[in-house]
Amino acid sequence: MPYVTVGKENSGTIDLFYEDHGSGKPVVLIHGYPLSGASWEKQVPALLDTGYRVIAYDRRGFGKSSHPVTGYNYDTFAEDLRRLVTRLELHDLALVGFSMGGGEVARYLGKFGSQDVSQAVFISSVPPFLLKTANNPEGVDGSVFDGIKKAVIEDRFAFFSEFFKNFFNTDLLLGKRVSDQVVQASWNVAAGASPTASLACVNTWLEDFRKDLAQIDVPTLVIHGDADRILPIAASGLRTAKLIKGSRLQVVKDGPHCVTWTHADQVNRELLAFLGESWMDTQPSRERIER
């Protein structure tokens, strides 16, 4: 199994597990919390069939990557991604981030620029800035995140069970767009994550990406469900699209947080169309994906 070393912790190395398949233009897929690169199951075949090289990796603390007790902040996550990009000598790549993975996309471009990146995609993503502050009144009160951390500390396994109900909107979509088995499989992956990472990553959701988004100068697609209960579209997707010059917004009607599974056909269609377009074709456009 391929790994890239991104650091050291005491006597051991910190290694990221990744999968690298296909050929052609590289597309790097960055997963959400509390899953792994395997969560792109619905997107990888579509990308490979269209002729892309697909790289999906596990963030530190998750999946098959190392589980250190340090490095849970977006500067480090972006540096981890940079080491992967450098190791694989990737150029003209597209960065695609889901949920927490959107933070890596934003911070990577804000920190390292777009020299090797030609396109960016944010799906149900955490930017621009979730925490409510004096200069960010649209954010969420900090007590909400304190409650999440308390729940993770007390019983992260029980927390994950409740989390995935809103991740997939199971009260509305179970048996229609998602099965019990998919929800259970997601829980299984989450249960295997580092306890440290499961807690520490909650604080990373409060990082401010507004300056990072303002620096993005590549064609950008924002996909977000209008029924997202984890990251409501008004606090995240709509604002992200406004802050990135020339970005394209695609709203998934009745889409929950994990539209990459529940609405995979629509997401894949829009993702592939965007990846196949040039800069001029991606200038301001606002469309709605219908069920």
Residue of 31, 224, 257, 263 marked catalytic: 257
Report the distance separating Cα 87 and Cα 83, nearest Å.
6
Report the distance separating Cα 270 and Cα 188, nearest Å.
29
E strand or H helix at 122: strand 117-123
Tell me, yes or no, if 31 is annotated catalytic.
Answer: no
Name the token pair of 44: 């990888």
Report the distance separating Cα 199 and Cα 67, nearest Å.
13
Tell me, yes or no, if 114 is annotated catalytic.
Answer: no
Residues whose CB falls within 8 Å of the CB of residue 233, separated by 6 or more in sequence, listed in order:
224, 225, 226, 251
Please report how the helices 142-168 and 180-191 are oriented relative to each other, as an axis angle in degrees rounded to 10: 140
Contact present, 237 and 122 (Cβ < 8 Å): yes
Sheet strand arrangement including 117-123:
3-9, 12-21, 53-57, 26-30, 93-98, 117-123, 220-225, 248-252, 285-289
Residue of 39, 99, 186, 198 marked catalytic: 99
Residue 195, phi-psi category: left (phi > 0), alpha (psi -120 to 50), beta (remainder): alpha
Tell me, yes or no, if 228 is annotated catalytic.
Answer: yes
Residue of 228, 236, 247, 263 marked catalytic: 228
Catalytic residues: 99, 228, 257
